[in-house]
Amino acid sequence: MNGQIRHSQMLIDGQMVASESGEWLASDNPANEEIIGYSAAATAADVHKAVAAAERAQPAWAAMDPNARGKLVRQVAQALRARADEVLKLEVQDTGNTITKMKGDVEHAAHAMEFFAGLGTEIKGETIPASSENLHITVREPYGVVGRIVPFNHPIKFAAHAIAAPLMAGNSVVLKPPEQSPLSAEILGEICRDILPRGVVNIVTGNGMPTGDAIVRHPVIKRIAFTGSVPTGMAIQRAAAETGIKAITLELGGKNPLIAFPDMDPDKIAEVAVNAMNFAWSGQSCGSTSRLLVHESLHAAVLKRVVERVAELRLGDPLDPNSQMGPLNSRRHYERVCSMVQSGLNEGATLKHGGKRPLGKQFEKGYWLEPTVFSDVNSKMYIGREEIFGPVLSVFSWRDEAEALAIANSTEYGLTASIWTNDIKTALRMARNVKSGYVWINGASSHFYGTPFGGFKNSGLGREEGLEELLGYTETKSIHMKLA
């Protein structure tokens, strides 16, 4: 084991361990392709050990007073904050996301844990006057062992968030971080090992196959929550259905519209459109508004300003606080995004900026792609309807509200939408009619804990970031007590 290169172990049954097979997966820095660490490649046998440990630990955890559980979850959040600098440096090198914006991820991770830690006593039942001779009550009980699988774009933020609500509801957890950016999970593992009872949280690293699949198919796991792409979400639903009756929530991809009405200032729209693309993550954010739908009267002015702003973005070392955009996360993902850019060109969209590797010695290695803007995009084009999950913005033009709505609702996705107008009736009509689960009026990107986040259509199933998420980790039991 090289002292410089990290070998990230897994947390199983209260111990940091390598995989049973002894195999490791290399993780590179996407900015320069240098190997920065290895993560344990969990086999199905490792997953079975993790589930067995979680099953043993869960009854005592569920029996704890919810405020006592909340106290421990808060301690995990505090410990994460205490190691924020270490997490941040590692995470930036492992993902390619720029450091200035990534700082928010560690804080967000801790905040999510604290939010759920305070909600323990909200796991309430009801009394129901269903008959006069009985007392009818409901209680909420944990599922047992919850399987959670998270993607590569915000590894620590999603991993920490992923364990908070199931734990507060009295479940134990088996978590799988992303194979491309797995290294920070070891830090979360160490923190959980030091604070939580043994086996309550288990973290298994590895590929979707076999590690993720073994979690989904495990007969003891009856509740699965997945954040990732639509195809993987569908594969998980199939695999789960083959092995049992399982409750599944899915936070999936988006092809989100930002809709600008004619009463808006083109400069303002250009500014928010570039910000809401999340170029600091190379566009790799499920909520990025990757379709900019501009009224024809503003289209030329907005497009011009968007291209100017995008051209000004400073690409560079993600660890440099001055960098505004880094590389894509992995070679495989880079190649996918490049092929989608090519398909845009093949289908007749007009490339207004980017579309290629940036010039300069520092960009010769790594998964760099210039921030890219296409105009003349329509909903029939592949780039107009499929999630790219990269730094590629597609600009559409529309004539009337009906056309704007038709374009907005034309994809199989329905995660977020951002509506820009000062006409309150238009804004609310659009918000009601757009088929998206999370809608901003004169805003974009922000998440507000306490309000449910999740997608319509293929963008998902279930809601997170609020009470609904917490209650989603419980099952309702009805109890009838004869009074006479």
- Contacting residue, 92, 146, 149, 388, with ligand NAP by CB under 6 A: 149
**Measured distance CA(223)–CA(175) in Å, rounded:** 12
208 binds ligand NAP (CB under 6 A): yes
Residue 213 found at the interface with ligand NAP (CB under 6 A):
yes
338 is catalytic: no
Torsion, Cα of 439, 441, 446, 451 (10° steps):
-50
Query: Which one of 46, 105, 114, 179 is in contact with ligand NAP (CB under 6 A)?
Result: 179
From the list 114, 179, 186, 251, the catalytic residue is 251
* Least distance to ligand NAP, CB of residue 226, Å: 7
CA angle 5/7/10 to nearest 5° reads 160
Q: What is the dihedral of CA 101, 107, 109, 110, to 10 degrees?
A: 180
CB 220 within 8 A of CB 51: yes
* Shortest reach from residue 429's CB to ligand NAP, in Å: 26
- With H, G, I as helix, E, B as strand and everything else as coil, classify residue 206: coil
Residue at 23: amino acid letter? E
Q: Of all helices (H) and strands (E), which one includes residue 471? A: helix 467-471
Tell me the per-residue interface mask from 395 to 434 with ligand NAP, x by CB under 6 A, - otherwise. Answer: --------------------x-------------------
Stretch 224-263: interaction string toward ligand NAP, x if CB under 6 A: ---xxx--x--xx--------------xxxx---------
- How far from chain centre, in Å, is Cα 5? 27
We find the least distance from the C-beta atom of residue 254 to ligand NAP, in angstroms, to be 6
Q: Any catalytic annotation for residue 251?
A: yes
3-state helix, strand, coil in the chain (%, to 5): 40, 20, 40
Helical segments of 118-219, H only? 155-168, 184-195, 213-217
Which pair of tokens denotes residue 459?
Answer: 């963008």
Letters for 332-371 (x = contact with ligand NAP by CB under 6 A, - = none) are ----------------------------------------
Q: What is the dihedral of CA 307, 308, 311, 317, to 10 degrees?
A: -110
> Shortest approach of ligand NAP to residue 288 CB, angstroms?
8
Residue 460, interface with ligand NAP (CB under 6 A)?
yes
Active site residues per annotation: 251, 286
Residues that bind ligand NAP (CB under 6 A): 149-153, 176, 178-179, 207-209, 212-213, 216, 227-229, 232, 235-236, 251-254, 286, 387, 389, 415, 455, 460
